[in-house]
A = this chain, B = another copy of it.
């Protein structure tokens, strides 16, 4: 309910300036944020356009001034979050050299995506893709491919260095499930930090050299 006032990261701001994603303070931005929260909590199908309208304080019909239909709102939520998180990941990767550090950076980054501010949108991205039509699914899949390539190349490097033993593709998929599932159990209020959780996950993924 309360608006988040933290500054967006440089990558985030850059995407806003380029007009690729909407600023969180704009009308569209607030709609997408509200939509992400509702879609996450109730699921896309159970969320009505009347729910969406009430969440941003307008009539349900007025939504269709911004988006042509309900599905395109879901698509926009997914598209923005995958684009943003791809950038955040590149940013995090650029600060690491050793393969193990890269893998840790990726794990931390994905955990923060899932558990932090963009968490609702990320959860929607993972669990609601069935509600997209075929064309939109293909579109999101393409964007996700770029994101996944970052993972695969980092894991492949780590395998060549000897710190990963199983196939990078299988490992990535197991990690995808493990990390995205955290949204269903991890609580910030508990006595384990996100960084500690990232470290634990890393200890599963790689064996010390």
Contact check: which of B43, B176, B181, B205 meets A173 at CB < 8 Å? B181
Q: Is the C-beta of A179 less than 8 angstroms from some C-beta in chain B?
A: yes
Query: Which of these, B46, B166, B180, contacts A177 with CB under 8 Å?
Result: B180
Copies in the complex: 2
* A59 at interface, CB cutoff 8 A: no
Say whether chain A's binding surface is mostly helix, strand, loop, or mixed.
helix
Whether B130 and A42, one on each chain, are in contact in the complex, defined by CB atoms closer than 8 angstroms, is yes
**Does A177 lie within 8 Å of B170, measured CB to CB?**
no
- Some 18 contacts from A to B, beta carbons below 8 A apart, are A42-B130, A43-B45, A45-B45, A46-B130, A46-B131, A165-B203, A166-B200, A170-B200, A171-B204, A173-B182, A174-B182, A176-B181, A177-B179, A177-B180, A177-B181, A177-B182, A177-B184, A178-B178
Q: Does A136 contact B (CB under 8 A)?
A: no
B201/A174 in contact, CB under 8 A: yes
| A170–B205 alpha-carbon span in the complex (Å) | 14
